[in-house]
Amino acid sequence: MITPEELKQVVKDKYTIIADQAKEANASSCCGATSVCCGDTMTYSIMADDYSGKAGYAEEADLALGCGIPTDYAGIRPGMTVLDLGSGAGNDVFIAAKETGPEGRVIGVDMTEAMIAKANANKEKLGAANVDFRLGEIESMPVDDASVDVIISNCVLNLVPEKEKAFADMFRVLKPGGSFTVSDIVVDGDMPEHLRSVATMYAGCVSGAEQRERYLGYIREAGFTAVSIPKEKPIVIPDDVIQSELAHLPEEQRSMGSARLVSVTVHAVKP
């Protein structure tokens, strides 16, 4: 069985590659790079939302890795302190920075050094003075207790192997009355267990996705209230892609069964 640390390394390695790829390469497959989950000859776009036209949007920071636009539902206001989990090249950070205004600030946390370097290069290019990128893991963030008004995240928490720890640390850093809005992938129904052992698909957002009620359960167990899902959309992976990715398994196992992948945007409040 793959350990949480081994899974983190898989994700870190893959997203280091993604950091150096063009947006077009990332957009052509599940949660980003073709090399992550689909093989060089399989390209399909299933999740990326269109950010163009958003205030603060910077094309160079958009790697097409998201599965929603969490800032649309986060209630960010001028002067707030906002934290983006798994901030990548800074796409959501720069959107949020526009909404907080110069009197606010936005912190981006990412565990991949190559992503932090890319984000800081974008920060310098854009002259974003109210932005701070930090290297760290979501389960133990380099962020002070009760220091953040709003947390956002885009298609990242599903890649965290110990989600209960991640939500607990999110609770720690939020101020009382603060909230989070995350876009993520969940499963309706039961995903066959063999899919969860495919590390390359895990890095591509498929096997890392939790069953919906379990995912929401982690949130409530961490102490959050007023849990809601303001937006969701189904994620359809073509059967020929699944068949090819799982070609090493018997034919009867090359299926997601009754499971359905869904992109959800979840909002919750720290009392």
Number of continuous H segments (helices) and E segments (strands) in the chain: 10, 8
Region at 101 (left for phi over 0; alpha for psi -120 to 50; beta for the rest): left
How many Å apart are CA 243 and CA 254, to the nearest integer?
6
> For the chain, what is the mean pLDDT?
83
Q: Would you list the domain boundaries of the chain?
A: 4-269
> Mean pLDDT throughout 230-238?
85
Look up the CATH number of domain 4-269: 3.40.50.150
Each residue's pLDDT tens digit, 143-196: 999 999 999 999 999 888 899 999 999 999 999 999 999 999 888 987 776 665
Q: What are the DSSP E strand ranges found in 142-205? A: 148-154, 174-188
How many Å apart are CA 63 and CA 4, to the nearest integer?
25
Contact (Cβ atoms closer than 8 angstroms) between residue 14 and residue 36 = yes
pLDDT score recorded for residue 202: 43
Contact (Cβ atoms closer than 8 angstroms) between residue 115 and residue 33 = no
How many Å apart are CA 142 and CA 134, to the nearest integer?
7
Helix (H) or strand (E) run with residue 81 in it: strand 81-85
